Amino acid sequence: MTKTEEKHWLVRPKTVRWLRRGGLVLLALLVMADFYVHAHPSFQIDGTFGFYAWFGLVTCVAMVLFAKALGVFFKRKDTYYDND
């Protein structure tokens, strides 16, 4: 058996490629759905086109970057407390 045959079908490069494409199509379809779905916004902005999509994306990127910045100051080796 060669190495590629041993690999589980889910992690073969071909499957991964299809998963990636499928995911992007799904994201696009979800945003398109905003053309047809008429929400009852609680405030103003959350009724606008694609609000939840960009809000989710932007806040997540912000949280990861914030965590990274915090890590610069507060990260230590995981053996930090070992001698206590």
Told to check if 84 binds another protein by CB under 8 A, we report: yes
**Chosen residue from 11, 13, 15, 17 binding another protein by CB under 8 A:** 11
Told to check if 40 binds another protein by CB under 8 A, we report: yes
Q: What is the DSSP string of 2-62?
A: -HHHHS-GGGSHHHHHHHHHHHHHHHHHHHHGGGT-----SSSGGGSTTHHHHHHHHHHHH
Taking the complex as a whole, how short is the minimal distance between the CB of residue 4 and another protein, in angstroms?
13
**Chosen residue from 12, 25, 33, 48 binding another protein by CB under 8 A:** 33
